[in-house]
Amino acid sequence: WVFFCLALSFPFFCLFLASNSEAQKKSNFKIQKTEAEWKSQLTDLQYYVMRKQGTERAFSSPYDKNFLQGTYVCAACETPLFSSDHKFNSGTGWPSFDREIKGNVSFSVDYNIGMARTEEHCSNCGGHLGHMFSDGPRKTTGKRHCINGASLKFIASNEWK
């Protein structure tokens, strides 16, 4: 009986830990804004994804099939996050990369669906980007950074500052 009660309470405990760590994480980012400031700067979809850890519908982002040369930057603060050199077609319906631009993406663990996943954030503003999985291209890193297109802005190589 005790084991049964513990087993049932474990997912709720994980959700509690995830909620608690979320508040702690947000205070560590360089760019700090109020929710009202984020709402005025971002579109409704960007706010939902980046500030509420939401997920856009699969196959809804034009960046999923964008293979032009350039850099994907944070939609909220324009920190460079991913290079088109490391983008691949995962077939999942979200832009996918086998590696991030080192130092510009932060990682944490979330339990929002009752299991541990590696969550990705912009290291500068804390905006939620997506999740990292270990089912990417074996010939490179083996990682798949599954990123919401709403969290990104694409800057073509010939437009880069």
Catalytic residue among 74, 122, 125, 146: 146
The number of angstroms, rounded, from the C-alpha of 81 to the middle of its chain's C-alpha atoms is 10
* Residue 77 bears catalytic tag: no
Spatial separation of the C-alpha atoms in residues 60 and 38, rounded to whole Å: 22
Tokens at residue 125, please?
């503003």
Spatial separation of the C-alpha atoms in residues 105 and 99, rounded to whole Å: 10
SS3 144: strand
Residues labelled catalytic: 146
